[in-house]
Amino acid sequence: MMDFPGFLKLPLAGWIDSAVSWIVVNLGAILDVIGDVLLGVLVAFERALLWLPWFVVLIGVAVLAWFAIRKWWAPVLLGGFLVIIGSFGYWDLAMMTLALIFAAVVISLLIGIPTGIAMARSDTFAGVLRPILDGMQTMPSFVYLIPALMFFGLGKVPAVFATVIYAVPPVIRLTNVGIRGVSQSVIEAAKAFGATSRQILWEVQLPLAFPSIMVGINQTTMMALAMVVIASMIGARGLGMEVLLAINRIEVGRGFEAGLSIVMLAILIDRITHALAARQQHTKPSH
């Protein structure tokens, strides 16, 4: 009497298992194409970062930090983070981690910005997609590893796939918010001058929404970095793998060095992208 009635049990797990099995069996060719694309993007970034001499990357980060923040300490501090990571012996692993982040962010932007635009232009689509985005952001990130493994097996591809799912919601949401936040009077003025819907989107709404989109890019990048350690559990090499190995072998020092390297990468990426977003906000044209 006190137990929950069995006839009310919802067999959601079985339904999802059946759906995943059907996708693997019937859409294998499409999954192979998606996997090849994801792997190609990741390998391109990884080869580029590993090919560049360390001092070129260091100078590039310092210049970007100065351009974004315009403070004398920015290139010194953020460049110093890379020097410290290299002194730990983690330069190549840090470049692999950055390659994974860059690949995931690029793919997230290619998916997220058009989706955000579609949300802004259709209340019905926004109403359908909003709870899906809520679920994507609140679902434990470990859950994403299960379909990633089912679809692509172990390695770099499922790591990118899981990272994209986890990281894409912020750029979708903030693209939608930015476009919806454009003043109606500006849009009406553009229409009065004979602008088409496409011209209004590209020449009015997107430029005015760009600061909000930049904040979305910042958040997407940070969420991609948050998946680094989790992605290492399915074969993604990088700093996350070092943390995982240190946990398995109970090597506290090794784990601290790898964890500190991830923290410094996070600060570096966050400061630069946040400063770029803030500069866009300050230079945003008035309505």
> How much is the pLDDT for 286?
46
Task: Please say whether the beta carbons of 166 and 138 come within 8 A.
Answer: no
The pLDDT of residue 281 is above 70: no
Task: Please say whether the beta carbons of 167 and 227 come within 8 A.
Answer: yes
* Cα dihedral 147→148→152→153 (10° resolution): -90
Residue 177 φ/ψ, nearest 5 degrees: -65, -40
> How much is the pLDDT for 151?
80
Residues making up the chain, counted from first to last: 287
- Name the pTM for this structure: 0.84
Q: Which residues contact 120 (CB under 8 A, 6 or more apart)?
A: 126, 175, 176, 179, 180, 205
Tokens in use for 37?
Answer: 């694309």
Greatest C-alpha distance within the chain? 72
* Cα dihedral 63→65→66→71 (10° resolution): -150
Domains of the chain and CATH, by start = 21-282 (1.10.3720.10)
Tokens in use for 78?
Answer: 């953020």
Average pLDDT, integer, range 34-47: 87
Average pLDDT, integer, range 61-75: 87
Band (pLDDT 50/70/90 cuts) for residue 287 is very low
